[in-house]
Amino acid sequence: MDLKSKIILISGPTASGKSGFAIKVAKRVNGEIINADSMQVYKQLKILSARPDPKQYQKIKHHLYGFHDVTKNFSTGDWLKLAIKKIKEVQKRKKIPILVGGTGLYFKALTDGLVKIPTISLKLRHQIRNLQIKLGQKKFYEKLLKLDPSSKGKINSTDTQRSIRAYEVKKFTKKSLHEWFKNTKSNFLVGDFFKVYIDYSRKELIERINLRTGEMIDNGAIKEVKSFLKLRVRKDKSANKAIGVNEIREYLNKQNNLNDTKEKIAIKTRQYAKRQSTWARGNMTSWMKLKPQEINKFLKKI
């Protein structure tokens, strides 16, 4: 297969070996790697975010890793702007851009464009979230369908986050979220991309997650969280969502022992991996699904 005129996108759940796979692909196609993971942008979260180590780069250029400060938020829009710029720079050097990461929204923004919805007031957002809590998801979803019938079949009845988002957008803009999506365009054509998703079985992935959790602790995750906590990062900042921050904070406060901490991190990571897989099933239907045992065969073809 000829990938030398494409923008290569590599995704998969956490701990699926995306970074190592991306390096192997880059060596074969003369590529450069661009980060598409929302936590790997933060300079102070190297271990918890499983950021590739510069020693592992193997002379392949890596971009948008560990450059942003945890005290500042970093949005999908921020990433998209930088990613488009990097893609063009890489192509200008006659190299192949390879975007790798587990943040589905980043890839969706790149391939479909980013919806430019006006900023919704915090007051309204809080009102709608409180309404959802009061009614429960089943009744709230029914209320959403009355407000915005076009959400039927497009938003799963159990998807709390998207239901709330669709409700607040319709309420605030008088226009359905799906209309906003329809009128959004990417900077690239559909044919510009080659998209591959590493698809591990649940059992194999759990084993990999458990192994990696132990390695993170051994490699200094506790020290990293100590340094992070000293920065007193505000609670509303995205970096606080990094898996391991709260669990290790509890350990440092003597609320849990080390084994319990590892188990809590592993459980949370497994839950995150499940959400990533669910996202992929709903939003990455056009991606090539690559089983780990098929990787070597795939690499020989390119």
Chain-wide mean pLDDT for the chain?
Answer: 94
Using CA atoms in the order 242, 247, 251, 256, what is the torsion angle rounded to 10 degrees? -170
> Using an 8 Å Cβ cutoff, are 83 and 64 in contact?
yes
Helix (H) or strand (E) holding 15: none
C-alpha distances out from residue 91 to 138, 219, 253, Å = 48, 36, 49
pLDDT at 56 over 80: no
What span, in angstroms and rounded, lies between the C-alpha atoms of 35 and 67? 11
Output the pLDDT for position 161.
Answer: 86
Output the pLDDT for position 3.
Answer: 86
The CATH number of domain 7-115+186-200+279-301 is 3.40.50.300: yes
Reported as a single tens digit per residue, the pLDDT across 141-189 is: 999 999 999 999 889 899 898 899 999 999 999 999 989 888 788 999 9
Confidence tier at 288 by pLDDT (50, 70, 90): very high
User: Any idea what DSSP says for residue 189?
Assistant: -
Output the pLDDT for position 183.
Answer: 79
The fold adopted by the segment(s) 203-277 is Helix Hairpins (1.10.287)
What span, in angstroms and rounded, lies between the C-alpha atoms of 25 and 112? 24
Reported as a single tens digit per residue, the pLDDT across 12-44 is: 999 999 999 999 999 999 999 999 999 999 999
Reported as a single tens digit per residue, the pLDDT across 63-93 is: 999 999 999 989 999 999 999 999 999 999 9
Output the pLDDT for position 57.
Answer: 79
Instruction: Show the tokens assigned to 278.
Output: 């669910």
Confidence tier at 115 by pLDDT (50, 70, 90): confident
C-alpha distances out from residue 277 to 14, 17, 212, 218, 298, Å = 10, 15, 18, 27, 21
Output the CATH code of domain 122-182: 1.10.20.140
Output the pLDDT for position 1.
Answer: 75
Q: What are the sequence ranges of the domains in the chain?
A: 7-115+186-200+279-301, 122-182, 203-277
61 class by beta-carbon count within 10 Å (0-12 exposed, 13-18 middle, 19+ buried): middle
Output the pLDDT for position 170.
Answer: 96
Helix (H) or strand (E) holding 32: strand 31-35
